[in-house]
Structure formats: structure tokens, C-alpha cells
Amino acid sequence: MVAAGTVLGMGTILAYGDHRQQATEVDAPESTPGPPFPVFTRQEVARHHSEADRVWVTYGSDVFDVTDFLELHPGGKSKILLAAGGALEPFWALYAMHKQEHVLELLQGYKVGELSPEEPPQPTPGDPYAEDPPRHPALKINTLKPFNAEPPSELLTENYLTPSQLFFKRNHLPVPVVDPATYRLHVRDARGRTLSLSLRDLKRNFPKHKVTATVQCAGNRRAEMNAIQNTNRLGWGIGAISTACWGGARLRDVLVHAGYKPSDEGHVSFEGLDKEPNGTVYGASIPFKKAMDPEGDVLLAYEMNGEELPRDHGFPLRVVVPGIVGARNVKWLAQISVGPEESKSHWQQKDYKGFSPAVTWDTVDFSKAPAIQELPVQSAITEPCPNASITPGELTVKGYAWSGGGQSIVRVDVSLDGGKSWHVAKLAGEEQAPGRAWAWKLWQLEAIVPPGTKELNIVCKAVDSNYNQQPDKVGPIWNILGVLNNAWHQVSVSVGED
């Protein structure tokens, strides 16, 4: 077997760990043929379908024993076990991000055999993303299947409200096709019964409320963390954040209708209509206190920027939880329940949590970290773009700033020399009530670049109403999930002659 460092590269080893037997620190000569792999039938592979019998899977004509990787899989052990004893192709058609070189190399490290040439080829599965909606061509795509993309930085702050076509797209699974005429929202009431509400019920029986709120993915600016040490997760730039005016029924009103009282406690769990192959749906939860807060402004939204919700953003109904991480703003909402515990969903229990830089995939214990709810103060530079070339004279620097939990932005500091000296930017955006500043501030700085300047290292940092400030470096907040990056944002540009 080729050495672990050669096959995987340091980034993959550090992110996933390397538990393959026979791995050494000495590179085997590429010209030296290894012993032939044993040949198995699909029936023999199927016998290895549990941890007790070792978990085998196939991909193409190869057979792999992935038992030792179960606990290391970033998507959770349960997802690999869906394919136990069978082929990976149907599942990789759904999670197409697996078809990357480093993943294929990692898989080869677990190879234990080959399928008999007499075995018929695995039928090619249908494309579960065939009915996804069209997208704007300006979006910068991170993954096609599922679709994850962000607007280019120069368009991100062109408008205070982000046009829905350019609003960042964060999908975990294929976009469901929903008939609004037959759609029903199921709500477990305080007596354990299930209420069934149509879209018409929500629009007619509950007052419409509007709120302007920014939604940010916990992985926003992960690319800067990946540059330090690859997390092998979506390499978002600064665009996994957008702002819209949402319209819909207050979640509080619906819960009161279902018999709940503001004095009740626990968590409100949401389930979407987007499904995995085994029927598992996307889910998340928020504290009951947030859901019932009259000033929490949590919506069951059916409108976005005055129009019907687009399919990519949750048509016909989604949760909008102002001030809370995007992962809890469940789209294509199907079910609401209230209970003493958080959602049991993988995305609540085994993802979207923050860890120390010291934690690895070998030592991580997801039960020791709380699920991310409110996000820390954040800012970024949208203009000029990184590595742009400018001329001496007038320079306009633009960007956004936002903080979770309804904290307002009170100041954005901008430096043109890497943090040696600072200027205060001008803020723009809607005025919002204290504690309910759900939307970002756009900021701008007008500066003069003196003749003879060769380059600028532009830096921004924001301060919120609780005087929380951004850390200056990414390294000390790096983590295996690549979340919560709110370090000073830096853009370097070159300066040429007029």
C-alpha cells in the first residue's frame, strides 16, 4: 500500500485521520506491483452489512472495507451504513461532492478486493437533482449537487436587500417539488395531536408580519480556514450571507394557536421536505424561548422581497429565525414539534458546532459542544476585490457588517496598511430597534491613495452594540468543521500608475 502521506496529502489526513492498516511512512516504489486483490461476488459483499461483520461497500468494480472509517465520516456513521453491503453509486449520486480526487484517494486506502468480472455492472442511478430549479449564471458555485453557491463579492453589497436570484444558496439535498395546492404544515399541538395547516390557512388565519433579516451560513468565509488547513468542506468565500425582507405568519401565533404558552420551555424542532435516500429529512431546532419571544420575530415565511418564495429558498414555506445561524432556518417546512430536547437531526447533533483548534476527527465529541444558534460579529470587504489593480487617487472601499442575536453594528474600522492605522467607515442601512437589529449594515470608506504607493493591505473589523469585536487572525479560531470564521477580513491590492 502506498504511504498515507503520499496517497492522501496532509490536509485529508488531518481532517479525517488515517486508520488504514499497513500504512507506513516510506513510499513504496510505484513500479513495484502489489499482490493481486481477492475477487468477490456481490452476494459475498452483501454479507458484510454491519459493524459486527465488517462494513463493505463497492464502487465501480472495487470492494472496500470502510468499518474503520465509520466514526470518522463527517456526514455521520448512519449515512455510510445505508450503503453497507452494497454499492456507493446511488448515494454518491445524491451527495455528488464525494466525487473529488481526495475522496477517491481516501477510499482507495480501504480497498480489500475486486468484484468478479462475471458480476453485472451496477445500473446507473437516475439523477435526483434533475428537477432542481435554474440558477443565475453570476453565482460562484461551490457544489452543483447539492447546489451551493454565493454571489460574487462585487455584487453582494450592490443592494441593501439581496435579489433572490443572487441570495446565496445553501442546499443539503435535492430541492423538493411541492404542489402548493396540496401542501400541508403539520404542527404537534400541546395535547399531542397534529394540526394540519394549508398554505391558505396560514395566510388567512394568522396576521402577516414582515421582517428584514440577514441569513448567514456558519461556514461563511471557510475558504480562509481551508487555506490554513483543509477542512474538506464547502470552501465558502465571503458571500454565504445575504439579506431579504421576509413575509409570513409569526411562529409564535401558530404555537399559541396550537395550545402552547409563553411560560412553556424546551425546544421547537423543524423538519423539511428535502429527503435522503432512506427518507431521513433535514431538521433543526431553536430554543422555545426564542420562538415565543414577541420581539424574536420568528416567521413561517411564504414571501421573500415581496414575492412568492423561490424554490431554492424554501417554497412554499420556510422558517426565518432572525439573528440565528442559517442552518436553523429550515426550508420547505413540513413539520413543527415542541419538546424538552433539541432536534435529533444529524445537522443539529453532529454538525454546525464549534470546536477548539486542538480537536481532531479522532478526538471530537459532538456531545460536548452546543449547537450554534446566535453567530458572532462579522464583517467583510466586498470592494475592491482581492488582487485587484488600482491607481493612486480616490479609492472607495465597501463591505458589510452584521452580528447575531439582534446586536446592532455600531462601528466598522478600516485599515489600508494591514492594521497599523485605522479609519472609521460610514454605515448605511435600515434603522432597527435595540436588540432587534436583524439585518446587516453596509459600510463605505472614501480614501486617498498617495502617488508612489505600490500596494495596499486593506483590513476591516466590526464592533457590535455589546462591544464584541472580531479577532485579528484566523489561525487561533480554526476548527475541523470550518465554522464561525469572523477574523479580520483582509484584501490585498496592487497600485499602478495612472
Q: Are residues 341 and 468 in the same domain?
A: no
Q: Are 241 and 220 in contact (CB under 8 A)?
A: yes
Secondary structure class of 216 (helix, strand, coil): strand
Calculate Rg over the CA atoms of the chain: 25
Domain residues for 169? 140-356
Catalytic residue chosen out of the listed positions 98, 102, 135, 411: 98
Catalytic residue chosen out of the listed positions 59, 95, 110, 170: 170
Q: Catalytic site residue 260? A: no
pLDDT at residue 1 in the model: 31
From the list 489, 431, 434, 443, the residue with the least C-alpha distance to 465 is: 434
pLDDT at residue 256 in the model: 98
Cα–Cα distance measured from residue 446 to residue 450, given in angstroms and rounded to the nearest whole number:
13
Q: Are residues 423 and 318 in the same domain?
A: no
Q: Are residues 202 and 304 in the same domain?
A: yes
Q: Are residues 150 and 109 in the same domain?
A: no
Asked if residue 126 is part of any domain, the answer here is no
Asked if residue 370 is part of any domain, the answer here is no
| pTM score of the predicted model | 0.80
Asked if residue 27 is part of any domain, the answer here is yes
Domain count, the chain: 3
Asked if residue 409 is part of any domain, the answer here is yes
Q: Catalytic site residue 95? A: no
Tally the C-alpha atoms within 13 A of residue 122's C-alpha that lie toward its C-beta.
Answer: 20
Q: Catalytic site residue 186? A: no
Q: Are 294 and 435 in contact (CB under 8 A)?
A: no
Give me the amino acid identity at 62: D
Q: Per-residue confidence of the chain (498 residues) as pLDDT tens digits?
A: 333 322 223 233 223 333 333 333 333 334 345 678 999 999 999 999 888 889 999 999 999 999 999 888 876 777 788 789 988 887 777 666 677 787 888 899 999 999 999 888 777 678 899 999 999 999 999 999 999 999 999 899 999 999 999 999 999 999 999 999 999 999 999 999 999 999 999 999 999 999 999 999 999 999 999 999 999 899 999 999 999 999 999 999 999 999 999 999 999 999 999 998 778 899 999 999 999 999 999 999 999 999 999 999 999 999 999 999 999 999 999 999 999 999 999 999 999 999 999 999 999 999 999 999 999 999 999 999 999 999 999 999 999 999 999 999 999 999 999 999 999 999 999 999 999 999 999 999 999 999 999 999 999 999 999 999 999 999 999 999 999 999 999 999 999 876
Alpha-carbon separation of residue 387 from 165, 384, 392, 455, 486 (angstroms): 27, 9, 16, 10, 21
Catalytic residue chosen out of the listed positions 19, 42, 49, 73: 73
Cell output for 204 = 388567512
* Measured torsion, CA atoms of residues 407, 411, 412, 417, in degrees rounded to the nearest 10: -140
Catalytic residue chosen out of the listed positions 217, 250, 313, 436: 217
Mean pLDDT of the chain: 90
Q: Are residues 207 and 335 in the same domain?
A: yes
Catalytic residue chosen out of the listed positions 352, 400, 460, 489: 352
From the list 389, 390, 411, the residue with the least C-alpha distance to 401 is: 411
Q: Catalytic site residue 328? A: no
Q: Catalytic site residue 302? A: no
User: Buried b / exposed e across 259-271, counting CB within 10 Å, b at 16+?
Assistant: ebeeeeebbbbbb
